Chains A and B, each alone.
Chain A
Amino acid sequence: MAEWLGLLPAFPLAGFLALVLTGGRLPRRIAGVIGVGSVALSFLLALIVASSYLTGAAEPVTVTLWTWMSAGAFAPGFSFYLDGLSVVMILIITGVGFLIHLYSTGFMADDPGFARFFSYMNLFVASMLILVLADNLVLLYLGWEGVGLCSYLLIGFWYDNPANGAAARKAFVVTRVGDTSMAIGLFLLFSELGTLDIQQVLSVAGAEWEIGSGVAVAAAALLLGGAVGKSAQLPLQTWLPDAMAGPTPISALIHAATMVTAGVYLIARTHVLFELAPSVQLLVAFVGLLTLLMAGFTALMQRDIKRILAYSTISQIGYMFLALGVGAWSAAIFHLMTHAFFKALLFLAAGTVILSLHHEHDIFRMGGMRKRLPLAFWSFVIGSAALTALPFTSGFYSKDEILLAALAQPDYGMLLWLGGVLGAFLTALYSFRLVFVAFFGPMHFIQEADDAHHGPVREITGIPMALPLVVLALLSLVGGFIPVPVDAVFASATEHAEAHPSVLLHGIMIAIPIIGVLISWLLYGERQGAASQRQRFATMPGAGFLQRLWVNGWYMDALYDALLVKPFVAIARLNRHDLVDQGVTFSSFLAQVGNRLLVLTQTGNLRWYGVSMVAGLVVVLAIGAWL
């Protein structure tokens, strides 16, 4: 069955080509069938491959399609590598991808760029599959760049609005910083190890490099740079909130379930390198910790429904980085999977809300929607419950594992654990703030809309939109029981110490999210004293400063603008008249001057021409006779 592996990215790629080559002239039904069908086929194939892998010997398989390039000793192939980790990833990508594609047929039904949307989505799925199946780092980089491109194309999908284009460019440029770091890391690995085949890199590096040696630290740090960029962690997280300018299904697919997890996948794949550089691995954990706290505080103050979810994504990936940093590789992948379920669910439900309310994003202008939008309401409740890690949801099990692993870290265990628990509290606070403000309380928007000519607000769903919500809700609830077959992949990893915390700590871990939900209800719930409670918090000293700080994302955008953008623009303005270009136009200027001088000899006068000929003859004879 492994021979069919090559077909996995081929189906979406064929879908992309079919939709692009027909130039959007296909009728919607057919474009939708091609777009969704190709991913559905990939999902079926992934199921078949996964089942044969898991029921078989469960040995890693390499399938080489062809040799990509051959330059001396460097001959990477277009080859795919199947083991437990890639099985998990392809199932997530094709499965959640298929559901989101199905949802999009309903969400984008009225959009004129319907076929273009599905072509980009298919290209994205193909690139992501190449990324996770890649046998060598060069092919992985191909997929990496491919998903970056599709992210750019899809964020700026509604290109008529220049703000969307700006957001797309910002995403591309910021991730490019990370990509450059990763490319330099690849160069370093190749020059040191002579190969970029992942398994070979891991074994050779493990054999030859000492733990903590400079080259290992450098390579791991550079790869971390790439991961940080793609996964929107500190300091390259500024692009993700702006990326919400794109249509909601792509926020669900790219910026929640798959692309932003590419960084986590990269670190997990090259885990040996990180184990060889413990300082960098610790850095991974702290990056994750700081990011999850920062994003958590910021999400607390946002008003746009998608921005709350965006910061929530940044925060959750911070948890995955935390897990990677303490060596809990399986826990990170497990959380990746559960996060894909409930975050996609939340985004798709948010899409339903936005569509039903005619593109209203501000939660404080919504209210009391649980009666009119029942499916969205229950999706949000289930998704937020999983996000908050309330007991027995999928998020509960994955976050639990991460926090236990963090506690076991020898040097900073308690600090990391406390940070993680604080993060869980914040998560509960902001996610249920969203639920209470949007779905409970007085019906602001619905009142207005009912009076206006839009007609009564009712939920916009059809089968294509409802089915994915239901399926994802189920997965968010029971996904915690799905075994993640990645232990064999990380078998070589040094065993992280199992933590056996006291009953008190365990109890705190479980209780904190519930306490968070209660406090959230106190402040935002549908009750009498809620508004006055919020007022009390708002008037506390320093509250205004904190509020502004968190709303503006800790002013990181402003910082980058002042530190990087403005100097760059100033330097570019220096060269406003483009010195290099002037050097080139100077030659044409010389030609024009020469022309104007020579034109003076074209008098049209016959005798003048005769005289000039004779004069030339005289000169030549003079030279000839007297030399």
Chain B
Amino acid sequence: MESIPYEHGLILAAMLFVCGLVGVLTRRNIVFVLLSLEIMLNACGLAFVVGSARWGDAEGQAMFVMILTLAAAEVAVGLGLIIQMYRRFQTVDISVLNEMKG
């Protein structure tokens, strides 16, 4: 088996992360913001697993399991919040959420 360069895995994780980040910063629909957040979380998990493969250890995977758990809980609550927001404002535009201005 050929080996895979370690940095390439990390750079892939960085690029996925950055994609998710630009999605968070740009999109106005809150669903897409949440999706971009998921992309970022996934990228972090990828980085951990790459690290675990580099050292031949299972610890990175254990962290990946935790990240997965975290993502699940966060998505559940986030979706609940989206539902409430939609009920209240009848829109998913995040620019209505500016009551903390000033």
Contact = CB atoms under 8 A, between A and B. Distances in A.
Contacts of B4: none
B56 to A, nearest CB: 28
A603 B98 contact: yes
A602 B21 contact: no
Interface string A582-599: 000000000000000001
Interface of A is mostly: helix
A541 interface: no
Contacts of B3: none
B102 A607 contact: no
Contacts of B94: 606-607
A612 to B, nearest CB: 10
B13 to A, nearest CB: 16
B100 A602 contact: yes
B24 A610 contact: yes
B101 interface: yes
A607 to B, nearest CB: 6
B73 interface: no
B25 A614 contact: yes
A82 to B, nearest CB: 77
Contacts, number: 28
Contacts of B95: 605
B11 to A, nearest CB: 15
B76 interface: no
A605 B24 contact: no
Contact of A603 (B24, B26, B28, B101): B101
Contacts of A624: none
A606 B81 CA distance: 15
B97 interface: yes
A611 B21 CA distance: 10
A562 to B, nearest CB: 58
B97 A606 contact: yes
A611 B100 contact: no
A604 interface: yes
A186 to B, nearest CB: 62
A305 B100 CA distance: 76
Interface in B38-78: none
A104 B36 CA distance: 92
B25 A607 contact: yes
Contacts of A607: 25-26, 28, 94
Nearest to B28: A607
A604 B25 contact: no
Contacts of B33: 606
A602 B102 CA distance: 5
Contacts of B97: 604, 606
A602 B101 contact: yes
B7 interface: no
Contacts of A602: 100-102
A614 B26 CA distance: 12
A606 B97 CA distance: 8
A596 to B, nearest CB: 11
Interface residues of B, number: 14
Nearest to B25: A610
B100 A604 contact: yes
A599 B98 contact: no
Contact of B21 (A603, A604, A605, A614): A614
B38 to A, nearest CB: 15
Contacts of A606: 33, 94, 97-98
A603 to B, nearest CB: 6
A604 B24 contact: no
Contacts of A599: 102
Nearest to B99: A604
B97 to A, nearest CB: 6
B15 to A, nearest CB: 16
B71 to A, nearest CB: 19
A607 B24 CA distance: 8
A610 B23 CA distance: 11
A67 B102 CA distance: 64
A123 B21 CA distance: 81
Nearest to A606: B94
Interface string A370-387: 000000000000000000
Interface in B14-30: 21, 24-26, 28
A610 B24 CA distance: 8
B98 A605 contact: yes
B98 A611 contact: no
Contacts of B26: 607
A604 B95 CA distance: 9
B102 to A, nearest CB: 6
Contacts of B25: 607, 610-611, 614
A603 B101 CA distance: 5
A603 B97 CA distance: 11
B95 to A, nearest CB: 7
B86 to A, nearest CB: 16
A614 B94 CA distance: 19
A218 to B, nearest CB: 68
Interface in B77-101: 94-95, 97-101
Contacts of A604: 97-102
Nearest to A600: B102
A614 B98 CA distance: 20
A539 B62 CA distance: 120
Given A603-B98, A604-B101, A606-B33, 14 more contacts: A599-B102, A602-B101, A602-B102, A604-B98, A604-B99, A604-B100, A605-B95, A606-B97, A606-B98, A607-B28, A607-B94, A610-B24, A614-B21, A614-B25
Can you list the 10 inter-chain pairs with the closest CB atoms, starting with the nearest?
A604-B101, A604-B98, A604-B100, A606-B94, A610-B25, A610-B24, A611-B25, A602-B102, A605-B98, A599-B102
28 contacts: A599-B102, A602-B100, A602-B101, A602-B102, A603-B98, A603-B101, A604-B97, A604-B98, A604-B99, A604-B100, A604-B101, A604-B102, A605-B95, A605-B98, A605-B101, A606-B33, A606-B94, A606-B97, A606-B98, A607-B25, A607-B26, A607-B28, A607-B94, A610-B24, A610-B25, A611-B25, A614-B21, A614-B25
Interface of A: 599, 602-607, 610-611, 614
